[in-house]
Amino acid sequence: MSRDTMVSSGGDVIGNTPLLRLNNITKDLDATIAVKLEYMNPAGSVKDRIAFNMIETAEKEGKIAPGKTVLIEPTSGNMGIALAYCAALKGYKLILTMPSSMSIERRALLKAYGAEVVLTDPAFAVKGAIERAQELAAAIPNAYIPNQFANPANPEAHYLTTGPEIWKQTQGKVDMVCFGVGSGGTCTGVGRYLKEQNPNIQVYPVEPFESSAINGLPHHPHKIQGMGIGMVPENLDRSLFSEALRVHSDDAIAMAKRLAKEEAILGGISSGANVCAAIQLAKRPENKGKLIVTTVNSYGERY
């Protein structure tokens, strides 16, 4: 996507988000941290890339068609908003299942785009939303679940767009990346692309301290929406990394507030978690002088 000319479709304004170096929060660190401002996508989050690519791919494969197919997807929020945007753009009916713990602001956005929201028990995390989506798909004719957790078009979106953008914006000087894991798409897609360019680039998934399935720990309630879903998603390629970072919910919330006050970046709680993880890496002596890239996943007004 180019922002220099008029475009004819809402899909054409997804991606090519700015990469911004942090200056104040990182002033006492010996490494550089830069954040990709994914809230500048049209529906306000990194999930826009995934949603559009999953729908486009399914259309090309003849699996779905506007006016005929009912899209159903389990989501913790931002994926639902992105799918609702794409469904409105392309003319699909959309039903979203999500834990009732997700914010009222997110639910309002979904309904504004015309999506139907079905709430599930938060005690079962995203697994409960997945099971409900499967039940609905079995009962509704012509239903299709894009399934962000296992759909290869998810990491492919980041392999084709986010990864190349980071490589270009850093002029190939990026040393490491860290991304919160929900569906696993960002970590896998960006990681694959960057490691093809430079095998020495390090990739770090990020999870809530309270719910770290990658580290083999049980799920406990936490406050970082969009991460720590209580399972390891199929789309997460474990061969790309050797260590998963963990961030406490309260630290993520505090960092999101600091980003707004000190960097004028109004991101959500998962964005705070990403920056906390990047700071963990920046504080390691062996990372002196390194360039660490992460994402501000969504706009803070949703929280």
Residue pLDDT, tens place only, 97-117: 988 887 788 788 899 999 999
Residue 283 a catalytic site member: no
* Residue 186, annotated as binding a ligand: yes
Convert 244-296 into a string of H (helix), E (strand) and C (coil): CEEECHHHHHHHHHHHHHHHCCCECHHHHHHHHHHHHHHCCHHHCCCEEEEEE
Q: Is the pLDDT of residue 69 over 90?
A: yes
Catalytic residue among 36, 45, 47, 298: 47
Give the model confidence (pLDDT) of 202-237 as tens digits. Answer: 999 999 999 888 988 888 888 888 898 888 889 999
> Which pLDDT belongs to residue 124?
84
pLDDT value at 92 more than 70: yes
Q: Chain-centre distance of CA 63, in angstroms?
A: 24
The reply, when asked if residue 78 is annotated as ligand binding, is: yes
The pLDDT of residue 49: 98
- pTM value? 0.93
- Mapping DSSP onto H, E and C, the string for 203-239 reads EEEEEECCECCCCCCCECCCCCCCCCCCCCCCCCCHH
- The answer to whether the annotation marks 271 as part of a ligand binding site is no
Average pLDDT, the chain: 94
Give the C-alpha separation, 178 to 275, whole Å.
Answer: 9
Q: Can you give the pLDDT at residue 3?
A: 67
Whole-number pLDDT of residue 64: 98
Is the Cβ–Cβ distance between 211 and 222 less than 8 Å?
yes
Assigned token pair, 293: 């890239």
The answer to whether the annotation marks 67 as part of a ligand binding site is: no
* pLDDT (average), residues 8-21: 95
Instruction: Indicate which residue of 249, 270, 271, 298 is catalytic.
Output: 270
- CA 107 to centroid of chain Cα atoms: 17
Beta bridge partners of 207: 246
Q: Is 257 a catalytic residue?
A: no
Place of tokens 């049209």: 42
227 Ramachandran zone, left/alpha/beta (phi>0; psi -120 to 50): beta
pLDDT, position 217: 86
Residue 268 annotated as binding site:
no
Percent of the chain whose pLDDT exceeds 70: 98
Q: Which domains does the chain have, with CATH numbers?
A: 10-46+152-302 (3.40.50.1100), 47-144 (3.40.50.1100)
| Alpha-carbon span 59 to 62, nearest angstrom | 5
- Widest distance between CA atoms in the chain: 58
* pLDDT surpassing 80 at residue 158: yes
Task: Inform me whether the pLDDT recorded for 78 exceeds 90.
Answer: no
The pLDDT value given to residue 76: 66
**CB-based contacts of 39, cutoff 8 Å, min separation 6:** 45, 266, 267, 296, 297, 298, 299, 300
Q: What is the mean pLDDT of residues 7-22?
A: 95
Beta bridge partners, 180, equal 206
- State the angle between helix axes of 78-90 and 104-112 in degrees (0 to 180), rounded to the nearest 10: 10
